[in-house]
Each structure stands twice: as C-alpha cells, then as structure tokens.
Copies of this chain bind each other. A is one copy, B any other.
Amino acid sequence: MLNTIKGFISSGELLKGGFGIELESLRIDKDGILSSKEHPDVFGDKLENPYITTDFSESQVEMITPVMKTSKEVFDALNVLYDIVSLEIGEEYLWPESMPSIIGENINIAKYSSNKKGNEARSYREGLAKKYGVKKQLISGIHYNFSFNETVIKKLYEKREDKNVSYRDFKDSIYLKVTRNYLRYRWFIVYLLGASPIIHESYEKEDLNKINKINKINCDIYGDKEAISYRNSKLGYKNSTNLYADYDSVRGYIESLDSFVYNNYISNYKEFYSQIRLKAKDNSNIKESLLKDGINYLEIRSIDINPLERVGISLNDLKFVHLFTLFLLNEEENSYKLWQEEALKNQLDISILGLEDINLLRNGESISKRQWAHYILEKMSIINSDFNLNLDEIIEEKKEMVNDYKKTYAYKIKDEVSKQGFMNFNLNLSKKYKKEAYNNRFRLQGFEDLELSTQILMKEAIKRGIKTTVVDRNDNFISLERGGKKEYVKQATKTSKDSYITVLIMENKVVTKKVLAENNIKVPNGKEFTNIEEAKLNIDDFIGKPSVIKPKSTNFGLGISIFPDGASKNDLHEGLKLAFNNDNTVLVEEFIKGKEYRFLVIDDKVCGILHRVPANCIGDGEKSIRELIDIKNQSSLRGKGYKKPLEKIALDDNAKLFLKQRGLDFDYIPKKDEVVYLRENSNISTGGDSIDYTDLIPEKFKEIAIKAARAAKAKICGVDMMLEDYKSEDSPYAIIEINFNPAIHIHSYPYKGTERNIAKEVLKLLNLI
C-alpha cells in the first residue's frame, strides 16, 4: 500500500504522526512494599489533571503524555512526567515493572471528589475489584496511542484504487486494517517488548495454576526460564471470556461490543480488554463519536513496562513500534477465518514460552517463530529503505533479539534477578531512576532549548495539571490553560498581570528612581545628564564621594564606572566618557556601600532573596585551585551555555590574569577555609555562586522591596537592594533598580540555601492554582 506514495512523501512526514503514551506505575516504599499513602495533593483533582492521575488504586499513578508529533517528542514528554512524579512522592519510589511489587494489606481503590464524575469513577473501580480481584488491577503497562500523519493518509487517499470511497471511510478502512494486522502480529511485540517474566509471591497465588509451566524460583518469586510476559499471559489482565469483536467495519465493531455488553461479558466498552482499541475523537461518548467522526486513533495495549528503561520504554522501541504500525498498514491480509483465535493462541504461547524456539500458527499453518519474525523484519526493512527512514540500527537490534534470546529484555531481566535478587534488582533501578529525576529537576526534557526559567515554570504547570503549550518556541512563549481560563506567558515572568507601563517604568532607570523617591523609598542620590559637557560642569558635587557613573538604559554592566572610595574630577570625567559611549543619557549617583541582594517580589510577596558571589573556591589545605574547581564543576547544578542553574567555572585567561595579579596561579593550594576568587564580577554566567538569603534578611527590608514593587505597580519584579549589613534592621540600604523579567531559576536552584518554588508563585499569581 505504501508503495503508491513512494516518492511523494518525505521521511519527515512519514515519521510524523500523533503519539501519546500512558504509563501506569506503582508507588512503593524503600523496601518495595506497595504504598498505602494517598495520591499526592500537588497533582490536584485526579479527574482534572490531564497528565498525572491514578488508575485503579491510589498507589497506581498513571502518567499521560499529551499528543505529540514524533516518537522523540512523546518520549521526552513521558520522561518529563516520570521525573515530576518521582520527585513529588516524597520518600517513595516508582516500581519499575509491570507485575506488582510486594502487595501489602492495603490496596486503596482510588478516591475521587464526591461529585457525579467522581462517584462514577469510584464505583466502576469497585465493580472491577469485585469481578477481577484487586490484585490483578495492579498489573501495570504502557498504552501506546497513535494516529498516522494526516498528510500521509491524504496522499494514500489520492492514490487509492476505489475512487468511490469517501475520505472518512478510507481513513476508517486504514485503521481497521492496522487493527486486524496488529492482532495477527501482536505476538511479535510481546516477544520483543515483553518484560514481565517474574511474579512476586504476594501476587494471587491461586491464579498461578492457570499456567502449567511456572515454578517457585526462590523463596519469594515465581517464573520460568522460557517466560517473557506474564502480563500478556493468562495470568494477565484480560476478560474472563475470550471475546472476538468484528473489525471489518466501525459499525460491525460497535455491534459486536454492544452484544458483549448485552450478554454481560463486559459492563461497558471500557471493559473490553483488547490488545488494541479503536479510539474516537470523543472517547467519553465513544459509540456516538466513532459512528459520527470515524476512527481517530488506535491504542496498543500489549507493551510491558521495561524496567531497564527509566520510563518503561526506550526511544528506539517507540520508533520501532511506529515502524511496526507502518508495516501493519502496508501488509496485505490473508482471508483465513480463525485468525483471531489463532492470534490469541500465539500471544499466550509467546508470553510464557517465547524464549524457546517454538512454532506459531500463521493462517492455520505452523511456522517457526524465528522465520516469521525475520519475515516481518524484512518487510519493515523495505519500508525503512524505501522511505529513507534511517531506522536500520533499530531493525538490526531487533534482528539480534530474534536470533539470540539472550538479547531479549525478558532474558536480561531474569539474568539480573538471578544475580541481584528480585527486590534488589527492581529497587536499585527505582532508586537510580529517582536520582536521575532529581538531577533533571530543573530541566524539562525535550525543551532544553527553552530558557531554564520557562522550563521550570512549565514543569510546575504540568505537575499541577495545567494544560501547557509552547506557542512560540524561539520566544519562550507558552500558554497555560485550566478550566477554560487561558494565560499566555513569555520567558516565565512576562505575564498578563503586569501592565505595559509598569515594565516601561522599570526599564527606565530615571523614571524608576522618580517613582521610588516619590514613594519615599531610598534610592541613591544622583543626577542625570544628556550631554557630556553639561555633565562635566555639574558633577563637582561628586568629587571625593563614593559614586557610580552609568548609562541610563544598558542592562549588561557595559559603560559603568564605580568609585567606592570617591573619585577625582579626572576619574569622573573618564567615567562620563565611558558611559556616554554606551547611551545618550548618563546617571551619576552616590555609591551605596554594602552588598547587592536580589529580592524577587511576586504579588506583593518576597519569594526569594539571592546574593551572588564571583566564581570562587574554598581551600581544604590539600587541593590546588585547579582541583578544587574541578570538584565544584562536577555538581549537577553546573553546566555550560545556560542549560543549568549555574555555569561551570572556567579556568580561562581571565581567571589566570586575575590570580596572577594576586600572586597566585591554578596550582596554588589554598589554606583550609581560604576563599579564592577567580574574577571580579559576580555574574552567574561566569561561574558565580548564587546564595539564598530569603530567611536571613530582616522583614523590614522585605517590606521595603514589596513597597518598591508596589510603587511601580509591579506584580513580578526583581528588586536589587544594597545592604551594608544584611543581618541588621538598622543597616543603611538603597534600591539600585527594579528589574522586570527576573530569572526564576536562580532562586529555584541556588548554589547554597533553600530551593524556592518560584514557579508555583507565578502560577498562583495567574490564578491557575
């Protein structure tokens, strides 16, 4: 089928589509025992958070990515959700595989708000518990939702044989074909991605009898050396009766589901546990929507959670599954009647015997698993090369898994379990993944090109179930939506809450000073000049006094001269020259002694106070500067090119010169507790340290910062204050400037001190939480 559009579609278009992953995962304690705690509050109402909710039990987190356009994007989105959840479950961990961990006494069925929707969700779960048992409900998996790129379907439609078919019917026929083929070939997915070959003894023992070939491996686990996926075996989560729906038409499908309900095999469509599902535009009214709008996408449900991957599936496997769906679309069908029964048998056989060289049934005839697998891979390979999909490596990887069962996930898992023990194997992974999530905490995977502040805000919004969309990536422009209320935000702190004029007031130092002074807030005394000759005639007042000369509008420190101990007339004139080289208007101001603190004020509240210190190291009396910096640079907070909250300290010519002027070099060994600075300026961008002072500075100065923000009517701003003695209420102070668009990441992830959840304050300001 695909060959009709060969040459008419780019690889990029064919690799696009709609992809969404649902990942279920059990919360466990440090010993691997299923959590009896409730779903964390921070995720909000389970029925409202589109990204993070629960499945059957309180302890079964469900992560749901939005629909993404590529496998990479959906993989990143899943990572984001995983990282968020990992860090919001306190001392708990996420169990890394499909079959449950140690099931204790308490399995709390998920609780909901007491409204109609909530009550329905609850009573549905209670019904399931009764019918299938609570333990079975804990089996977790990955649901892979996908649709083909609409452009691809359109091109196929253009090249269709039957010119009388409508687009809508054509599209349905494509998805139905893929569904049927998926059912036929699903054994292959179970073989390759199956990853649940072991069952803990706390799982329903009576159930084990359903399978002949299962043994107690050691004191607490059951399994068998040929098994691949107990989740996809008879022990897994399936309807009590084998149900074969009609997949020839949408109408037929619906009629068969209706008959299953009518015959009480299932209570509703949702209970039809097929390995693949037809999905509609509106799944809350699936019957009506399927009939009205046709098939919108498909949901593959056979994929086990792969404990070897943090998020349960690798990017390569996501790409592989997508290529597999293209194979299913392409592959002609056989008219063999009992195909559904045969496919089920193949699935069940593979799931418990798959690591053996078994035979399967193809259209009623026996075929070796290996031969059939190679056939499929060969066909996939052709698609790959026909469309230059560049997936050769992935196909090769799967070929090896076919040829050598030791390459399968199932084998690898059993191998590791035999070495480490079942609980250790899984717990080690859980802990490792949680640590990775922690190291990723300031990063939004897949959006690393965005500013850190934006990544942090988005992550917080996603966590809280706020619909988060990047509107313009280059511009760090996002939208945040909840309950019909939509807010646009640029660069994390540019919002609808600040007025335009407020920003312009902050942008203009002269105006800022006037506004602050009018509100009786101490600002440095100073004069403003627009002409250097006039300035020279009028700055005699500043001779010998601590003073600073700066261009009015620069924000990067260019053209600023500081004379902390007073300057001569000549110095002042030189300073003026430098400043006028950078702006038409120049300010000459008294210099306020002390250190500069950044007060981040959001909605009349000081959310963080930060002081910045130039790049430095602290001696231990043993290591050289070079070694000390090297150790400091290993912190996960430090990176290069603003990808992390802090920058690595460069041992560059500047630092070399700076040390040389002080009679030092990189090999100097600082004495214990000796602080050695490597440059003058305290910018974070040159390796400076950020230190949180939020709880250390007297309330009085916080109130002054708030007053300053109020004077400019700013809802979000950074107030830069000089304080001579930060510990004393009586310290002299002055406000140097107020900044719009203050960075939030420096407060969220400081070098030292408490990490402040600034993003939450922004969301609060926007009335989104």
Contacts and interface: CB of A to CB of B under 8 A. Distances in A.
Interface in A450-480: 471-472, 474-475, 477
Interface stretch (A98-106, A406-414, A501-509, A742-750): A501-509
A362 interface: no
A279 interface: no
Contact of A501 (B488, B502, B585): B488
Contacts of A498: 499-500
A496 B502 contact: yes
Contacts of A514: 471
A501 B508 CA distance: 19
A508 B491 CA distance: 13
Given A499-B499, A505-B488, A537-B10, A511 B471 contact: yes
B501 A499 contact: no
Given A494-B501, A495-B501, A502-B500, A511 B10 contact: no
Contacts of A3: none
Interface in A514-556: 514-515, 530, 537
A489 interface: yes
Contact of A475 (B474, B497, B508): B508
Among A494, A504, A510, A537, which residue has the most Cβ atoms of chain B within 10 A?
A: A504
A611 interface: no
Given A495-B501, A497-B499, A475 B537 contact: no
Contacts of A584: 474
Contacts of A494: 500-501, 504
Contacts of A740: 500
A504 B490 contact: yes
B474 A530 contact: yes
Contact of A511 (B472, B511, B537): B472
A46 interface: no
A494 B498 CA distance: 13
Contacts of A369: none
Contact of A500 (B474, B477, B496, B508): B496
Contacts of A502: 496, 500
A598 interface: no
A510 B495 CA distance: 18
A322 interface: no
Nearest to A510: B472
A589 B100 CA distance: 54
A494 B537 CA distance: 35
Contacts of A500: 494-496, 498-500, 502-503, 740
A766 to B, nearest CB: 10
A306 to B, nearest CB: 33
A586 to B, nearest CB: 11
A469 B584 CA distance: 21
A351 B615 CA distance: 80
A713 interface: yes
Contacts of A475: 504, 508, 510-511
Interface in A425-460: none
Contacts of A585: 474
Which of A500, A501, A508, A530 has the most B CB atoms < 10 Å from its CB?
A500
A500 B499 CA distance: 5
A537 B12 CA distance: 11
Contacts of A537: 10
Nearest to A469: B514
Contacts of A487: 501
A525 to B, nearest CB: 15
A417 to B, nearest CB: 47
A265 to B, nearest CB: 43
Contact of A508 (B477, B489, B713): B477
A490 to B, nearest CB: 5
Interface in A1-58: 10
A738 B740 CA distance: 24
A713 B496 contact: yes
A471 B513 CA distance: 10
Contacts of A504: 475, 477, 488, 490, 494
A490 B501 contact: yes
A510 B496 CA distance: 18
A508 to B, nearest CB: 6
Interface in A552-603: 584-585
Contact of A496 (B10, B490, B501): B501
Contacts of A474: 530, 584-585
A179 to B, nearest CB: 31
A70 to B, nearest CB: 14
A498 B502 CA distance: 10
Contacts of A503: 500
A758 to B, nearest CB: 18
Contact of A488 (B495, B496, B497, B511): B511
A489 B530 CA distance: 21
A495 B499 contact: yes
A497 B504 CA distance: 13
Given A477-B508, A488-B515, A496-B501, 19 more contacts: A471-B510, A472-B508, A472-B510, A475-B504, A477-B504, A487-B501, A488-B504, A488-B511, A489-B501, A490-B501, A494-B504, A496-B499, A496-B500, A496-B502, A496-B713, A497-B499, A498-B500, A500-B503, A500-B740
18 contacts: A10-B537, A471-B511, A471-B514, A472-B510, A472-B511, A474-B530, A475-B508, A475-B510, A477-B508, A477-B511, A489-B501, A490-B501, A496-B499, A496-B713, A497-B499, A498-B500, A499-B499, A500-B740
Which 5 residue pairs across A and B have the least CB separation, nearest first? A496-B499, A496-B501, A498-B500, A490-B504, A488-B501
